[in-house]
Structure 1
Amino acid sequence: MIPLRFLSKMGNYNIRIGGVVIHVRVVDNANLVDQSLSEIRHQIGTNTAVGLIFKSSKMLQICVGSRCLMVLLSHMDISNIPQSLKNFLAEQGICFVGVATSMDRMNMGFYGIECKNIVDVSELAARVLKKPHLYGYGRELKKLAAEVGLQLVEIPSLAQFNWSAKFFSHEEIEYAVHDVCASSLIGTKLLGML
């Protein structure tokens, strides 16, 4: 096994989404999850939306500000999911946003993880902007971003992407975290309008 001090320097990427440089960390180690969540907590303000997406029942993504965490749950011992992760997702004061959130809630249960404060970013947009037609636009993040004055560049779809992989190229990371980062940016902009 690779010592933690070296492992913590691996799996780090910098990507640009919506004009923001985002530091992405990919982890499959419980101790690194604890460390990464500590860094993410410092990014949360009073009007901050935390992006949360659970991909293909394998990967949990959390994004806030300039930090994104990809937890490779399928490569972790299911009986050793960090309590810090469970506690973070259970915090009542955090507004988690994502896409297809009802499916995410159901799939997280397999890992003993629960998040009650998650809302689809399109529902948040419809409520804050008082535009009911936006509800259901969760998969059309570029349109939602335009509604709040953000510009998103769509990431081209990859022909082959393995959500169960353990290692990723820079291009794959950019593709994988686009939706969670965009959800956080849009949600934060919406909460700032309240």
Structure 2
Amino acid sequence: MSDIVEVLQYDDMQCGTGIDIGYFAARFLKKPKIERYGLADLGGEVGLMDIKKPIVIGEIFQDWSGKEFSKEEIKYVVHKAYTSYVIMERLFQPKDLFSWVWNPFSSLRSA
């Protein structure tokens, strides 16, 4: 069972499956070395150069099974979730979003 699924098995949250974004990106991009990259480095691989690591003040997630989380812990999780979402969106985007657009100047280059 992946770490993701184990984390999501607490209390009311049930998850039948999960995939690590590094594992997915490494397979999708055919770059095995990136499997262990952090989110900021994975973002760089898909062209997102402005991803910053969240600033962590104090200890985070001392007790995953806790019912209450600090504001900093919530910000940290939301940052990681959103960053993961943006990376996955970028992975699924075509390489050239506007390749289908007619370019009136393209015929001039071939002449």
TM-score by shorter chain over 0.5? yes
Corresponding residue for residue 119 of structure 1: 19
Structure richer in strand, relative to its length: 1
TM-score normalised by structure 2 residue count: 0.63
Report deviation, 1:172: 4.7
Change (3 A) 1:173 1:145: same
Change (3 A) 1:102 1:167: closer
Corresponding residue for residue 28 of structure 2: 128
- Contact residue 158 and residue 175 of structure 1 kept, 8 A: no
The ranges of structure 1 where at least 4 consecutive aligned residues each deviate by more than 4 angstroms after the TM superposition are none
Gaps of 5+ in 2: 96-111
SS at match of 2:8: helix
Corresponding residue for residue 42 of structure 2: 144
Gaps of 5+ in 1: 1-100
Change (3 A) 1:113 1:173: closer
Report deviation, 1:126: 0.9
- Contact residue 124 and residue 190 of structure 1 kept, 8 A: no
Q: Which whole-Å CA distance do the structure 1 matches of 2:68 and 2:47 have between them?
A: 35
Change (3 A) 1:133 1:161: closer
1:66-121 Cα distance to aligned partner (Å, 9 max, x none): xxxxxxxxxxxxxxxxxxxxxxxxxxxxxxxxxxx8112134345471232x2111
SS at match of 1:119: coil
The letter of the residue matching 1:189 is: R
Q: For the aligned residues, what is the CA RMSD?
A: 2.7
SS at match of 1:135: helix
Q: 2:57 aligns with which of 123, 148, 158?
A: 158
TM-score normalised by structure 1 residue count: 0.39
Q: Which whole-Å CA distance do the structure 1 matches of 2:24 and 2:69 have between them?
A: 33
Corresponding residue for residue 52 of structure 1: none
Change (3 A) 1:193 1:124: farther
Q: Which whole-Å CA distance do the structure 1 matches of 2:21 and 2:82 have between them?
A: 12
Alignment of 1:16-35 (within 5 A): none
Corresponding residue for residue 3 of structure 2: 103
Q: Which whole-Å CA distance do the structure 1 matches of 2:26 and 2:36 have between them?
A: 9
Structure richer in helix, relative to its length: 2
Change (3 A) 1:114 1:172: closer
Report deviation, 1:128: 1.8
